[in-house]
Chain A
Amino acid sequence: QQQVKQSPQSLIVQKGGIPIINCAYENTAFDYFPWYQQFPGKGPALLIAIRPDVSEKKEGRFTISFNKSAKQFSLHIMDSQPGDSATYFCAATGGSEKLVFGKGMKLTVNP
């Protein structure tokens, strides 16, 4: 049972484009929603995170939008760069529960 569903599985955009990654969750007890970025040969690293008390959070070119009633959240990458090419994972958890990840999305940003 996939507790966090992520789409699309892969995406190719041109430099300057705005890739959007969508995630949906089932468990209403989830209250922490991080996004992790993983480059080839490296472990994932925290990119940005949000809690349900806000609908949007922005850090640099990365923005999370959160829709609590729809149980959905998404990551937007503004003015994408070739260096943003990586695999992106959304995740969710509640309190001391395990952190569950989506299956990941491989982003390619062409120059």
Chain B
Amino acid sequence: KAGVTQTPRYLIKTRGQQVTLSCSPISGHRSVSWYQQTPGQGLQFLFEYFSETQRNKGNFPGRFSGRQFSNSRSEMNVSTLELGDSALYLCASTPLAGGPGTGELFFGEGSRLTVL
């Protein structure tokens, strides 16, 4: 069974640009969560989607947005990029309808974004 797939793995953008990251969850998993990982802050929750609906949102500005498609694939978008947005963005899926709090999260390898 294929794992969580994230694309692109690496990307470089400049300030003010926007970026879209993609996540394909494990087949059959309907809950998808996104996390931002930085050396200073660790793993910070961005948002969680289940059946195309956002169920939870972290404390990030409105420049960070996401969506989920009917096939459970998810995308996140960051507009008007800032230097501080440089991070590893991780996607995780779980098969459980209860979401991340009820069982194991399966993480992808992440998309490493560098903002110059």
| Cβ–Cβ contact A99 & B45, under 8 A | yes
- Chain A stretch 24-83: residues in CB contact (< 8 A) with chain B: 31-32, 34, 36, 41-46, 49
Residues of A within 8 A of B110 (CB): 43
A interface bracket (residues with beta carbon within 8 Å of B) = 20 to 34
| Cβ–Cβ contact B101 & A44, under 8 A | no
B interface bracket (residues with beta carbon within 8 Å of A) = 20 to 34
State A91–B99 Cα separation when bound (angstroms). 14
Interface flag for B83 (CB, 8 Å): no
Given A96-B55, A99-B33, A43 and B99 contact (CB-CB distance below 8 Å): no
Given A96-B55, A101-B43, A104-B42, A46 and B98 contact (CB-CB distance below 8 Å): no
- In the A-B complex, list the 9 residue pairs whose CB atoms are closest, starting with the nearest: A43-B107, A103-B42, A93-B101, A101-B43, A99-B100, A46-B104, A98-B56, A96-B99, A98-B45
